[in-house]
Amino acid sequence: MPMKIGVRLLLAIILAVAWVLLTGQVNLFGFLFGYALGFLILGVLRNEHLGDSWSIRRLPDQVLAFVLYTLIMLKDIAVSSIDVTRRVLSPRMPLASGIVAIEVDDESTHQLMAALSAHSINLTPGEMVVDFDGTKTMYVHALDVHDCLANEQAGAQITRVKWFKRILGL
């Protein structure tokens, strides 16, 4: 089933902006060309109910959520970099690395959610996703396994999925 026309019109804006940035033609013609191209491409894409329950009223909240989440991620990147730098510079190098299995809830098994949250985990302090079995366990490599208690992580994962749902309007 093709995407709803309103969803296509909005998603094409993102593609048009990307087109303008990539081609470097920052003018109206470049934007319109990218917009038309993006609109056509979105029509060809087969999608799995993306945006079925979406309506324009949700857009402000989605944009707000996106901005807030970006700020949270930037803070996370800074914190994790400072943490790693501290470990690198410390003469004794305090490491207790290991791979921890983290149980995730059902909603994380949605492929998009799984990919996005794994992406975020890679940027959060001291953790990196090594494997995901596709059902309920994520294997996370941590610089210090004591910082990465499994239940705490499951809570963080639930919060993360909530953010993604809010951003994507699901």
Partner 1 sequence: MVILQILGLIALGVGSFFSIMGIVGIFRFPDVYTRLHATGKVSTLGLISLMIGSGLLEPSQGLKLMALTIFLLISAPVASHAISLAAYRQGVPLHNSVRDDLKDKPPVSS
Whole-angstrom distance, CA of residue 158 vs CA of residue 112: 15
Give the chain's radius of gyration (CA, Å): 20
Other Cβ atoms less than 10 A from the Cβ of 96: the count is 11
State the pairing for strand pair 127-132/98-103.
unpaired
DSSP designation for 107 = G
Residues written for the chain: 170
Helix (H) or strand (E) holding 167: helix 150-168
Q: Which is nearer to partner 1, 5 or 112 (CB)?
A: 112
- CB of 17 vs partner 1, minimal distance in Å: 9
Give the interface size with partner 1 as a residue count (CB under 8 A). 39
1 forms part of the interface with partner 1 (CB under 8 A): no
Going by C-alpha positions, the residue among 9, 68, 64, 72 that lies closest to residue 42 is: 9
149 forms part of the interface with partner 1 (CB under 8 A): no
Binding-site member from 27, 134, 151, 159 for partner 1 (CB under 8 A): 134
Binding-site member from 49, 89, 106, 151 for partner 1 (CB under 8 A): 89
- CB of 98 vs partner 1, minimal distance in Å: 3
5 forms part of the interface with partner 1 (CB under 8 A): no
- CB of 111 vs partner 1, minimal distance in Å: 12
Judged by the rule CB under 8 A, the positions of this chain that interact with partner 1 are 18, 20-22, 24, 26, 74, 77-78, 80-81, 84-85, 88-89, 93, 95-101, 118-119, 122-123, 126, 128-134, 139, 141, 143, 145
